[in-house]
């Protein structure tokens, strides 16, 4: 089974080709091989705004989708030029193609050129992120996937982006870190607790088995990644905020008298929900209360970065481990861009050693938005394929 997967849920344009063999049972490791996983980042474009600017992201997806798809097929050795024939332009398909992409002139132009130049690749289906995410961005990926589906006569499998972040844990054949050192378990066992922490989502998910998801906790306002971005902006640090704060947090403070204490919102709430808007506000009030000389000093930014990062880590670790205990989890799996944070990974691993629950985390590049995880989820959930006419984008659809 070979899948061409596409993700345009936010600001990264990604296309991947994955191949798999079905496991003998639901308890076995699903063997997935990444043949290619190409990601085109838009960080430089959005950095001046301190966050993702949807109109720009949409435009860049239109520009990037066909070239990224070409590169992914090329890396997988699936890209072949068409053999010239008398009927080089099937007019009926071109007419339908223009109907699909009638509002996206740039995407129509690049897609038509791509499809007329290259052969249909040897893939069985197309997997596409259709929810959740920024709708203008989601639609670009969906429209491109629909165009490929129409032209190549392939089924489309819609994929939930949150589930895909957890599915990244099954991409072990590409070097994903699937277990902590000295831990014997190599398989994800069920029931499992999943933590997804990203720029737009912070959620705890109960998984009784592969492909089944039950939301048990989510953020009531700002997500963890969003909090990183907003507090970094307050301190004058560059976007994206998570990596910027992490770099500052590694530095040593010269002024040992400088102490900052921030709240850990909802850490003892008794449920599994999150709230990071209060943390962001606390950072703002502390920043505004300082003299200009203090808040612009290196020591203040380092101290604040350390405390912001630790406050977020404390909440994520505490709630995840409590959920694992309450639901008697046999595995903890994680995903999302915030899980690329080295200190979060380290502390979650260390604190989990006492519980001795097998802990899984994808390698850092697979924590970030990518199409390989979308392809993996299309296989894990056994989602039924749909015709291209029925695929719709939904920015806020939950599990």
78-127: pLDDT as tens digits: 999 987 766 666 888 899 999 999 888 999 999 999 999 999 999 999 99
Instruction: State the maximum Cα–Cα separation within the chain, in Å, rounded to a whole number.
Output: 80
CATH of domain 177-361: 3.30.420.40
Kind of pairing between the strands at 125-131 and 31-40 = unpaired
Which of 229, 190, 232, 234 minimizes the C-alpha distance to 212? 190
The ranges of the chain annotated as CATH 3.30.420.40 are 2-168+368-390, 177-361
Orientation of helix 298-326 relative to helix 224-234, angle to 10°: 170
pLDDT band at 260 (very low <50, low <70, confident <90, very high): very high
- Cα–Cα distance, 132 to 9 (Å, whole number): 7
Whether 181 has a pLDDT exceeding 80, the answer reads: no
Tell me the pLDDT tens digit for each residue of 154-180.
999 999 999 999 999 998 533 333 333
Whether 12 has a pLDDT exceeding 60, the answer reads: yes
- Cα–Cα distance, 368 to 347 (Å, whole number): 19
- Cα–Cα distance, 324 to 285 (Å, whole number): 35
- Cβ neighbours, 10 Å, residue 136: 16
- Cα–Cα distance, 107 to 129 (Å, whole number): 18
Region at 259 (left for phi over 0; alpha for psi -120 to 50; beta for the rest):
beta
2-168+368-390 belongs to which homologous superfamily? ATPase, nucleotide binding domain (3.30.420.40)
**The tokens 């990518």 sit on which residue?**
370
pLDDT attached to residue 381 = 81
- State the virtual CA torsion across 22, 170, 321, 218 in degrees, nearest 10: -90
- Whether omega for the bond prior to residue 132 falls within 30 degrees of 0, making it cis, is yes
Model-level pTM? Answer: 0.92
Question: Is the distance from CB of 380 to CB of 168 less than 8 angstroms?
Answer: no
pLDDT attached to residue 383 = 74
pLDDT attached to residue 22 = 60
Which of 375, 288, 303 minimizes the C-alpha distance to 37? 375
pLDDT band at 30 (very low <50, low <70, confident <90, very high): low
Q: Which long-range contacts (CB under 8 A, 24 or more apart) does 59-62 make?
A: 59/106, 60/11, 60/13, 61/8, 61/13, 61/107, 61/137, 61/140, 61/141, 62/104, 62/106, 62/107, 62/110, 62/140
The residue length of the chain stands at 399
The tokens for 168 are: 């990244």
Question: Is the distance from CB of 60 to CB of 13 less than 8 angstroms?
Answer: yes
Q: Mean pLDDT, to the nearest integer, of 255-271? A: 93
Backbone phi and psi for residue 222, each to the nearest 5 degrees, phi listed first? -70, 140
Kind of pairing between the strands at 202-207 and 192-197 = antiparallel
pLDDT attached to residue 187 = 82
Q: Which helix (H) or strand (E) holds 348?
A: helix 342-352
Arithmetic mean of pLDDT over the chain = 90
C-alpha distances in Å from residue 175, one per residue of 32, 223, 364:
11, 28, 11
- Cβ neighbours, 10 Å, residue 297: 16
- Cβ neighbours, 10 Å, residue 89: 8
């Amino acid at each position: 089974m070979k899948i061409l997967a596409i993700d345009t849920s936010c600001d990264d344009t990604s296309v991947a080709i994955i191949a798999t063999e079905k496991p003998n049972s639901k308890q076995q490791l699903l063997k997935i091989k990444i043949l290619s996983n190409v990601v085109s980042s838009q960080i430089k474009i959005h950095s001046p705004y301190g966050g993702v600017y949807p109109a720009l992201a949409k435009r860049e997806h239109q520009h990037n989708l066909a070239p990224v798809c070409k590169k992914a097929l090329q890396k997988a050795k699936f890209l072949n030029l068409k053999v010239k024939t008398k009927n080089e332009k099937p007019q009926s398909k071109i007419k339908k193609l223009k109907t699909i992409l009638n509002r996206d002139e740039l995407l129509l132009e690049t897609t038509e050129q791509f499809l007329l130049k290259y052969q249909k690749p040897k893939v069985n289906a197309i997997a596409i992120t259709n929810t959740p995410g920024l709708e203008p961005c989601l639609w670009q990926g969906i429209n491109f996937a629909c165009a490929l589906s129409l032209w190549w006569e392939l089924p489309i499998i819609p994929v939930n982006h949150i589930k895909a972040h957890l599915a990244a844990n099954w991409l072990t054949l590409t070097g994903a870190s699937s277990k902590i050192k000295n831990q014997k378990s190599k398989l994800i066992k069920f029931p499992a607790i999943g933590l997804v922490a990203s720029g737009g989502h912070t959620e705890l998910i109960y998984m009784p088995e592969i492909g089944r998801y039950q939301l048990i906790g989510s953020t009531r306002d700002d997500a963890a990644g969003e909090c990183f971005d907003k507090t970094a902006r307050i301190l004058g640090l560059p976007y994206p905020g998570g990596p910027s704060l992490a770099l500052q947090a590694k530095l040593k403070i010269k002024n040992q008298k400088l102490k900052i204490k921030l709240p850990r919102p909802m850490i003892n709430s008794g449920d599994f929900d999150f709230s990071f808007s209060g943390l962001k506000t606390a950072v703002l009030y502390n920043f505004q209360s300082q003299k200009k000389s203090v808040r612009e000093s290196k020591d203040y930014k380092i101290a604040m970065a350390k405390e912001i990062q630790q406050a977020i880590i404390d909440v994520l670790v505490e709630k995840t481990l409590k959920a694992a205990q309450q639901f008697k989890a046999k595995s903890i799996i994680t995903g999302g861009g915030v899980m690329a944070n080295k200190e979060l990974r380290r502390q979650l691993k260390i604190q989990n050693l006492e519980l001795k629950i097998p802990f899984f985390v994808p390698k850092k590049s697979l924590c970030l938005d990518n199409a390989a995880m979308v392809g993996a989820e299309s296989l894990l959930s056994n989602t039924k394929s749909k015709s291209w006419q029925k695929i719709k984008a939904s920015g806020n659809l939950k599990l």
